[in-house]
Each structure stands twice: as structure tokens, then as C-alpha cells.
Structure 1
């Protein structure tokens, strides 16, 4: 590495290339990073070669060499370079920012700001600002402006949420007022219907149902609404009150809100209800006693019958000139 060290009196970039390349091929990150620096700037008898610089810088950065990462960022972030790559530039800036290179953090923060990612841009700007200093004034100013902007946005969003919440509460209060108006007129079924289908909230349904129970007006509630309340209140005193009223109105074969038509035994029960309680006694009729087996025509008899049918048809045709001689 002495031959490739610019501070060494034995520095010789050209002679160092072979040793550095051997080291880089052996996954030595420092060797790859030093090669990237030599080809990025050009040194001694070695010409500038950004193609080689980009290659060795990525290999060095993969081995966590900071020189390699610095060169990779410089190569891919230069918009005037044929090797410009925005995605790679952002990746290597993020790596260098993690290494503590505040300039990389500053550039990345500005990119995120332009992309509209203000929160992450602020965090990076604050990190890059660090303890401040004249050389970091621009990034510290950006951090301060981003913080002020975030505070304004958060206050505006909080005010908007409060406004939306107030509007929702007002709308719900109006729906509760409709339920109350039915209760005041002692229309308990109307109150429960409004709670179920207008308010659409369990709170209003509980409010209307409790009023109906206290008034002893459960008998006025439509049966379908009772079944909805049975579903909304699956347990507790309200469920017991609802099911008591449902049971009071139920018949033995009542299926509630479900269709009984296709349930097992439904057909027999309908037959019994229509025929005075007797079961369906329909059976396929069959003749009693022994029955004679039908006679089987011989082939000669069959031909004779067919011939007679054709003869009869031929002789009875109105337009047959020979019909009188048949």
C-alpha cells in the first residue's frame, strides 16, 4: 500500500496497480477503494478512467471501505457524467451518511425534500446539521425550515380531524334526535326502526329498545326488527327481553326470519295443516289381484295389422280415384 499512498515518498500509482488489483481480487476493500481513487482522479502515469473507478468503487464499498463508497457516490451522482445513475447515487449517499459524512446526508435530505418526503428529509437534515458550524449553515437552515413546515402541517391536520369529528358528532346527534322524536310520540317501533336503518348504531338501538322495554311496549315492535335486535344484542338483559317477545309470538313451526319452505319435514307439515292433521297418505296406485300378462303379437300378426291400417287409409282418402272399389 506504500506505493499507492500519495503521502509516501515511494508513491508510484502505476507500479501500485498490480498489487492493488491482486488485493482487490482477494476481497480486500481498502485495495479496491485505493484503485477507485487512483482511476477517479488520475495519478502519475495513470489516466483518469471513470469506468474502472465505478467498478472498483462498488467492489470496495461492498467490503465497507469508505474511500470506495465516496468514489461510488461521486461517480453516480454527477449528472454530467455518462455514468450518472440516480438510484445508485441515492443508495451510496445513504451509505456514506450512515458513515457520518454529513455532506452525503445533506444531499440526500435535499433529494428527499424535492421528492416530497419531508419527514425523512427533516431527520436527515437534523442529523447532517449535527452541532452546527459555519460550514453546515445551509443544511441547518434546511433542517429548521423543514421542522417549521412539519409543525404547521401537523397543526392543520389536527384542526381538520377535529372539524371532521365535530361534523360526525353533529350528524349522529341529528340521528339520535330523530329516534327521540319517535319515542316522544310513543312510537317505539318507529324509534327502533330509525335506530336500525337510519342511525345504524348499537348505541341508538339500545336507547330505543330500553325505552320500549321500560314502557312495556315490546308488543308494538315489528317482528323483523326484533330478529335484528336479537342479532345486535347476542346476550344480556336486552337479548332476554327481545327473545321473550319473539317466543310469545312464535308458532310451533315458526322459522323466524328464515325461509321454512325447504327445511326437513316442511312439506309434511304443510300437508297435515291443510288436511286436518292427517299425514300425507298418497301412495302410487296398484291393481289388486293377479293381472294377466299382455299378449305378444307375432311378426305375421303385426305385419297384417300394419297392412290393414294402410289399406283403410288408402280406401278412405277423399281424392283416391279407386276408393269405391275397395
Structure 2
């Protein structure tokens, strides 16, 4: 009788424990169906361990996969590793394993990226698929898989020499190019990034990156075309020393197209340097007189020494603003009237001659100061010809340099900004202070 009671107690205890386990697993499954990754994970463990339910590896992997889809990275790896080897009622399933490795990779698991890349990118893999490989290879590369970086670069750059034309993608190639250039010092990577970012017609044009990778390709790998491109960028923003340096380097590396441009630029730079030195002296001459209140002397120097309409305009307007037109010689007023047919400078001269009651014919009137008549009257009054403005005062110019694409004024400003703010920039350069 006592033994029967014991058997009844054991049966009741067993039923109670089974009910509790069923209740727990049912709760986990319900939570999973409501979107709980932990609920899915716990239910997967139930089926994997046979806890409260018959062991079912296929269902375990299904619930691990569901938890993976909901963002639980360790569940992705569980599903992938079990599916890879199989077990119980689940035969090895490499495709299912790879899908979960891919999901793990997307969640930042390095091992998941390595495995996904191996199965999608290895030609001997039963689930080899280059197109799907391109979807995971960036993550694998970013996490530190060097082989993945170059695998992606070669296919995005030229489809692995045309083998996979549908994988060619300039934007993707530039991403891999940046990574392999900066991290692995790869010349193809630098060149790929350069061609994408430095070309103003590219949808990914970026002046700072373009200049950076062009310089890397030139300075580190002695790419003659890259040196020429760097020179053309500096040409556009008129950074003289660097223009000469890179154009000549391209020439020395065998890029014949650059040699004539290097010569043209040297000659232009020499002329411009001479012009700027002379202009500095001219500025000092006129500014010095104006700052000392010697307005008549400033106007006279601009006419007779510099023979420059630019400096005459500057001196006359400053003199007019100071109310000092009375300091200007009458003969200089005649020259001003001859050099300027209209505008504020001519108006200042007219006003002063009218105030003096004098003009080229005794009284200054409209229509009496044609260029020929003025010169004849000057010759009669002062002897010789009236001074004429010099035609050599303007800065030298240089013909535009052709590049891979026409560089607009906006692009020049972007390159100027890139040159002046990127790491290693010479912010004291003149071009950076404009």
C-alpha cells in the first residue's frame, strides 16, 4: 500500500515537472513569435537540448535563425555552426549556414564575416556566389580581413580583369581603394580612389580626397599621370611652387605631355614674380605719397612715372575723397581727362577744371576733349606728346591647362579649400589668404 502511494507521488511529480517545462517553453515560443530575440534563443536551446520537448536540431536551428534575424549575433553564429556540421535530424546545410554567417557579419562578428566571405568568395565552395560575396566583403574588409579588401577591390575595379563585368562599380571600387591605399599602402587602391574622387565630373567628386590620393599616387608610387594631375590641380589654384614641382616631376617620370606645361609655367611664374615685385614698389610709391597727404604728387607719379590708369584711378579717387583735388597740376588734369572718357575719375577732373575756370580750350566743355584734339593742344602748350598709359602694367596670364574634366570656378575654390585645410597644408600660402 505504501509502495503504491510512492508510485502515485512520483507520477504526480513527473507530470508537474513536465507541465512546468511545457509552460516555460511555451512562454519562450510565444515571446519569440512576438518578436523577442531572447525568447527565440531560449526556445532554440530547448529544442537543441531536448529540455521539456523532444530534441529537434532542425527546429533549434530554425529558432536560432529567427533570433538572428531579430539582431542577436551569437544566435546567428549558433545557427551557422550547427547548420554547417549538421546533427540529429538536420543534415549539413552550407547555404543555411552561410546565410547566418552573413547575418552575423552584418552585426559586426568578425568570425561571421570571415566564414561568409570564404563560402561566397571561394570558387571551390558549394555556395560560391560572387554577387552575394560583394554584399558581405565590405564588412569583412572593414573588420580586418585583408583578403576580402583586395577581393572586393579587384572585382569592383575591373571585374577581375573582365571576368565579372556585372560587379564593376566605381563607387564601390573607390571605397575599397581608400581602404587598401591607406591601410595596406596599395598602389592600385590609391589610383582607384584618385580617379573617382579627383575627377570633377565624377558623382563622388571630393576635392580634399582627390588631392590626397593623387598626391599619394605621385609621391609614394611615382605615377607620372598622378603627378601631372596634381600639377594641374595646383595650376588651377595658382599655387606656383607646387605646380612647377609636380609638372616637372611628371615630365621627369616620362609623361611627355607635362614637359611643355612645366616650361610654360616656369616662364609664367618668373614673369609673375617680376610683376609682383614691381607692383609692390608701385604700391609703395603711391601709397606712401597718399598716406603723407601728398595727393598731387601721388597723381603725378601715377601719370608720369608709372603711366598706369589703375594707379591714376586709385590716386584721383583718394584725392577726391580727401577734398584735395586742388593739389593736382592743371596739366595732370588734362591727362586724366584724356585717359578717362567717363566715370568718377573723369568727373573729378571735370569738376576741378570747372572750379578753376580752365580747360583744354580755356573753358572746359563737353565734346571739346577728343583724344586727338587733347594731344594737339597739349603739344602746343607743353611741347612733346601727351603722356599715354602703358600697356604693360597688367599681370601676365597663362593659358588654361586641359584636365580630365573642365574645372569650374566652383571646383577651383574646392581645390583651394582642400589645399589649405587638409593635413599638411601650407596655410600661409598666398592662395590660402585670398
Q: In which range does the TM-score fall when normalised by the shorter chain?
A: 0.3 to 0.5
Which has more radius of gyration?
A: 1
| Structure with bigger RCO (C-alpha 8 Å, 6+ apart) | 2
- TM-score normalised according to structure 2 size: 0.31
TM-score by length of 1: 0.40
